[in-house]
Amino acid sequence: MVQGGSDGEYQFTRAGNFEYDVDGNLTVNGYKVCGWQDYDEATDGTYAYNTQTDVQPINLYSDSYNGNKKVMAAKATGEADITATLDSTATARGSDLHDIGAVPAEADATGTLTVYDAQGNKTEVTLKYYKCATGTDSSGDAVTSWYWTATTADGSTLGGTTSGYLLFDADGNVVTTDADYDPTVDLTVQSVAGGTSAVNVSLDMSPASTSAGSSGDGSQSGVSIKSDGYSSGTLSGISIGSDGVITGTYDNGESKPLGMIALAVFNNPAGLEKIGDNLYVTTTNSGDFQGGVAVGRGGTSALSTGVLEMSNVDLAQEFSDMMITQRAYQANSKVISTSDDMLEVLMNMIR
Q: In three state form, how does the secondary structure of 131-175 look?
A: EEEEEECCCCCEEEEEEEEEEECCCCEEEECCEEEEEECCCCEEC
The residue type at 310: M
DSSP 269: G
**pLDDT band with cut points at 50, 70 and 90 for residue 218:** very low
Assigned fold of 79-227: Tick-borne Encephalitis virus Glycoprotein; domain 1 (2.60.98)
**Residue-by-residue DSSP string for 66-93:** TEE-SEEPPB---EEEEEEEEETTSPP-
User: β-strands 79-87, 209-211: how paired?
Assistant: parallel
What pLDDT, in 10s, does the model give residues 325-334?
A: 887 777 777 6
Any alpha helices (H) in the chain, and if so which ranges? 315-350
On the question of pLDDT at 309 being above 70, the answer is no
Residue whose C-alpha is closest to residue 82's, from 59, 103, 110: 110
Task: Count the helices and strands in the chain (H runs, E runs).
Answer: 1, 26
The span from the CA of 262 to the CA of 118, in Å, is 35
Rg (CA), the chain: 34
Least confident of 74-78, 129-133, 326-330: 326-330
In the chain, % of residues over pLDDT 90: 56
Domain residue ranges in the chain: 2-70+233-281, 79-227, 311-351
Q: What sign does the CA torsion over 298, 299, 304, 309 have?
A: negative
**pLDDT band with cut points at 50, 70 and 90 for residue 43:** confident
On the question of pLDDT at 221 being above 80, the answer is no
